[in-house]
Amino acid sequence: MIKIIIYCLLVYALLLTVNLVESRIETSSRSIDTGVATCSADEECILHNKCDEVNKITRKRFLSIDERKYLRSRLCRYINREHHFCCKKKIEKKRVLPEVPVCGLVFSDRIFSSSEDPYIDKYPWTAISMYTTPENKIESHCGGSLITERHVLTAAHCNFRVPKTWKISKVRLGEWDRRTNPDCMEFVNEQVCNDPFVDVQVMKVITHPNYKKESVNQFNDIAILELERDVKFTEWIKPICLPVDLNIRNMNFTSHSVEVSGFKLTEKDVESSSPTKKVFYLYVVEQEKCKANYASMKVDVTNAHICAGIEEKKEFCNPDSGGSLVKEGTFPSSKFAHYQLIGIQSFGPEHCATTENPGLNFLNKLLQ
């Protein structure tokens, strides 16, 4: 009995509240049946309970004369005892691409002895794509690059050349040594350790709409992994800069030295992957030479591709599939030295990509 009474009282209180709001609006808009206000371009005519500006007023116990006048002036429609008011359109905050010095950070004062072993905080945009198997095992088979707090750039083929029963489930950020967590390294007689790695669930895979997985050319081999939540940028986790500046996208990098970081993760071979993050120094090969090299395989090399390889074969010579090809320098868009993404690792020779037999990267011209 008590529960029923409480329930009835709650319903009664709710009805009183609704009626109170309605009566205030009714009083404020008395003699207005069809609405007189014309909403501006940045406004929309919506129900009173969906407009924050109106709700702030109607929630008050007493309304001033000015508040009543305001409600009358904003009433744009009155249909079936439902009041609609001109209200500012809610504009969703657009996610802005990070800019220098947030993205592409360069630590010029930190140099490590081995050319293939980067300092523990270098290339902080490097991501590892992780897949869940039917046996609930986690497999790492591709790389990627953090580009915003919630997006990782990778190759589209990474989602099609793994077993169909596998599902990309998360990405790992802030990793340097896959055998330990956190990771530490010796630097100038001092031990430096990073923060523990961060695993973030993948909410959605957005593949380029013109990508054809069966095509030998692998045009538009690009995908974006939308993460479940925003990632906090730290010393160990930062995004790479995208070439939003037209001058950068039009630059000719032939014969330039470029870099790609990763763990030698591919969709085919996980056994030869590296436990620690590596850096690979490549050279951009002229387009005509690259076209001739791939002609026998009937692969069309276009301006959407950039070819790069190493001068000599090394132990760790094939970078991550889906990893980013980056160039360090002072670019037109900034006075600070930083890294810019200029390509995404697509495909190449089965073993080492050399300047005589270069690998193909998909040049990021999608921003055009």
> Distance between CA atoms of 266 and 319, rounded to whole angstroms?
8
Token pair in block for residue 198: 């961060």
One of 84, 141, 157, 338 is an active-site residue; which one?
157
Which of 175, 172, 192, 196 minimizes the C-alpha distance to 112?
Answer: 192
Which of 355, 358, 356, 359 minimizes the C-alpha distance to 345?
Answer: 359
Using DSSP bridges, classify how beta strands 191-193 and 184-186 pair: parallel, antiparallel or unpaired.
antiparallel
In this structure, the dihedral spanned by the alpha carbons of residues 68, 71, 77 and 79, taken in order and rounded to 10 degrees, is: -50
Which of 304, 124, 122, 141 minimizes the C-alpha distance to 208?
Answer: 304
Coil, strand or helix: which one is 210? coil
Confirm whether 117 is a catalytic residue.
no
Distances, alpha carbon 148 to alpha carbons 96, 126, 224, 235, in Å: 8, 12, 11, 15
Q: Which residue has the tokens 């906090």?
A: 232
The phi and psi torsions of 141 (rounded to 5 degrees) equal -135, 0
> Distance between CA atoms of 156 and 174, rounded to whole angstroms?
22
One of 121, 177, 221, 320 is an active-site residue; which one?
221
Confirm whether 221 is a catalytic residue.
yes
Amino acid at 91: I
First and final C-alpha spacing in the chain: 69
One of 129, 145, 321, 324 is an active-site residue; which one?
321
Coil, strand or helix: which one is 156? helix
Using DSSP bridges, classify how beta strands 167-173 and 184-186 pair: parallel, antiparallel or unpaired.
unpaired
Helix axes 2-28, 65-74, angle to 10 degrees: 80
Q: Residue 279 forms beta bridges with which residues?
A: 261
Question: Known catalytic residues?
Answer: 157, 221, 321
